[in-house]
Amino acid sequence: MTQFFVVLGVGMCVLVLLCLYRATYGPNVLNRAAGLSAIGTKTLIILLLMGVIYDRVDMFIDISMVYALLNFIGTVVLAKYLERTGEA
C-alpha cells in the first residue's frame, strides 16, 4: 500500500511541474494566479500523502489545513488586488 502512495505522490509531483509551466510562462498575471492556485491544491494532497507514507498523518494534517486556508486567502487577496489596480 505504501508503494501505491509513493507512485501516486510522484505522479502528483509531475502534475505540479506541468502546472508550473502555466505559472511561469502564463501570458499575464491572471493566468499565473490560476496556475499557482492549481499548484496549491495539488500540494495539499502531496503533503497528506507524505504524512501517510511516513506514518505521521496527525502531524501533517495540521500543516495541510493551514496550507489550504492560506492558499484560499492568497488567491482571493490577489484577485482583489488585481481588481483594484485594474491591470491584467
Partner 1 sequence: MLVKDVICIFFMLAGFFFFTTATLGLLRLPDFYARLHATGKGDTLAVVLSLIGLAVYHGFSLTSAKIVFIAVFMFLAQPTATHAISRAAFRCGVQPWTCERGVLLEDDIAKQGGEK
Partner 2 sequence: MTRDSHDVIVKTLARLLMPFMVVFALYVVMHGHHSPGGGFQGGVILAAGFVLLVISHGLEQTRKRMSEKVAEIISSIGVLIYGGIGVLCLILGGNYLDYGTLSKLLRVTPAEARSLGILGVEIGVALAVMAVMCTVFFAIFTAGESSQDDRSVK
Contact positions vs partner 1 (CB under 8 A): 1, 4, 8, 11-12, 15, 18-19, 21-22, 28, 30-31, 33-35, 37-38, 41-42, 44-45, 48-49, 52, 57-58, 61-62, 64-65, 68-69, 71-72, 75-76, 78-80, 82-83, 86-88
Query: Residue 63: which of 46, 39, 38, 75 has the closest Cα?
Result: 46
Separation CA 81–CA 7 (nearest Å): 38
Specify the 3-state DSSP secondary structure of 67.
helix
Separation CA 59–CA 22 (nearest Å): 31
- Binding-site partner at residue 55 among partner 2, partner 1, none, CB < 5 to 8 Å by type: none
> Where does this chain bind partner 2 (CB under 8 A)?
58-59, 62-63, 65-66, 69-70, 73, 76-77, 80, 83-86
